Structure 1
Amino acid sequence: MSRLMLVGATGLVGHCVLQQALADVRVNQVVAPTRRALPPHPKLLNPLVDFDHLPVDAGWWVVDAVICTLGTTIKVAGSQAAFYRVDHDFPLQVARLAQRQGAKAYALNSALGADPASRVFYSRTKGELERDLQTLGYPSLTFVRPGLIGGERQQNRPAEQLAVRLSTLLQPLLPRRYRVVPAGRIAHHLLQAALGGTPGVRVLMAEQLV
């Protein structure tokens, strides 16, 4: 039985991961630190935190594996610097703190095109996070790189929603890499990666998720 940490549980993919993890017999407990409270569940430990000031010595950092689905947009964050803090700094800090307490596997919901050398700020941020996570030496590290994510978000993202609708209409004509991936499928791959603990660094590309 595993003790699993999930960061980003209030987002679209994170919510799917949470539901799947709570229903999975291999998971003894889900530790999901969030800013706002989640609905209670017998297998859920939900510490309320400020990600800018994480409690480094909290006992709930003791987990076997971590799944990270944290993410925002520049519009919501308010600036590139604030976006970088959420999409790079927070996931990296969580990785460090959980590893310090014994975590052996880390699965990240990254993005198609993640590349530290990219000229696109979003893709460069995701790529830099992947690069920096690899320096920590996790025995099992998985990057899941979806393109457009299908599902109903609580947060309004008009441009993304339009792109998803258009891509869904054109789905039969698009290469597999650019097809909409349901959030539940991404969650499935993240959960299997975290619990499976395959040694080394793996990248699951968008076409492997659909």
Structure 2
Amino acid sequence: MKLLLLGATGLVGRKTLELALSSDIISNVIAPTRKPLPTSEKLVNLVGADIQALVPALMSHKPDAVICALGTTRKAAGSKEAFRHVDYDLPLALGRAAYAAGVQTYAIVTAKGASSGSRSFYYRTKGEVEKAVREIGFRSLTICRPSLIDGSRNEVRGAEHAALMLLRFLAPVLPEQFRVNPAEAIAAALLDAVVVANTGCRLINSQEMN
């Protein structure tokens, strides 16, 4: 299986890349990034500042499935528009391009609380991208909705870090749905979803990724 991985440099994306490269089922991982990744025999790393400009080259490798682990925060992106570009425009544009190229399997990470009717810009955007991706028509679609994601990031997110510390401390007494989700568990769920590729749309909630 050839896997197109979007967001390979992020927390979940890095873990997904590690699992995919070590999997006997995955023959190649096609990963577009802004900066080069460490080389690997199974890795096809296309580098460019504009991922959308890489679409023709990405599709020329004929991926069998797509995992979208793209995601940022408004603070890190710098504006609402920049955040929406990463969390809505890119997943949708790459999803449509993949579907047009014959790909029928797609998995995406959004967030617990995602809703197109949310008052929160963050959760509303996540809900809107879920809705838009559903409408593309993939035979097999998986949507992962993690809570706070636990792992070592390349960027510092102060408020998120403080919340993670508190939730880790309270983990033994918290119900499963309120616990943090390890990046490794989310990555494993994503990879398993595209390998199995069950027909229809499946939601994987946070309590399934602990």
Q: TM-score category by the smaller chain?
A: over 0.9
Higher mean alpha-carbon deviation, 54-63 vs 136-145, is at 54-63
Partner of 1:75: 75
Q: Does 1:16 align with 2:7?
A: no
3-state SS in 1 of match to 2:56: coil
Let me know the Cα RMSD of the aligned residues.
1.1
- Unaligned 5+ runs, structure 1: none
Give 1:1-210 correspondences, 5 Å limit. Answer: 2-51=1-50, 53-58=52-57, 59-60=59-60, 62-210=62-210
In 2, Cα distance between equivalents of 1:74 and 1:51: 19
Change (3 A) 1:188 1:76: same
* Paired residue total: 209
Q: CA deviation at 1:61?
A: 5.2
Q: Stretches of 4+ moved more than 6 A in 1?
A: none
**What one-letter code is carried by the residue in structure 2 that aligns with 1:199?**
T
**What one-letter code is carried by the residue in structure 2 that aligns with 1:136?**
I
Contact 1:61 1:97 in 2 (8 A): no
Contact 2:112 2:206 in 1 (8 A): yes
In 2, Cα distance between equivalents of 1:57 and 1:7: 15
Deviations 1:50-81 (A, max 9, x none): 33642342244521000011011111111111
Deviations 1:144-180 (A, max 9, x none): 0000111110111111111111000001222211101
Contact 2:70 2:91 in 1 (8 A): yes
Q: TM-score, normalised by structure 1?
A: 0.96
Contact 1:31 1:60 in 2 (8 A): no
Contact 2:32 2:51 in 1 (8 A): no
3-state SS in 2 of match to 1:171: helix
3-state SS in 2 of match to 1:85: helix
Deviations 1:181-205 (A, max 9, x none): 1100000000001111110001000
Deviations 1:30-65 (A, max 9, x none): 000011100000000000123364234224452100
Contact 1:61 1:101 in 2 (8 A): no
In 2, Cα distance between equivalents of 1:61 and 1:54: 15
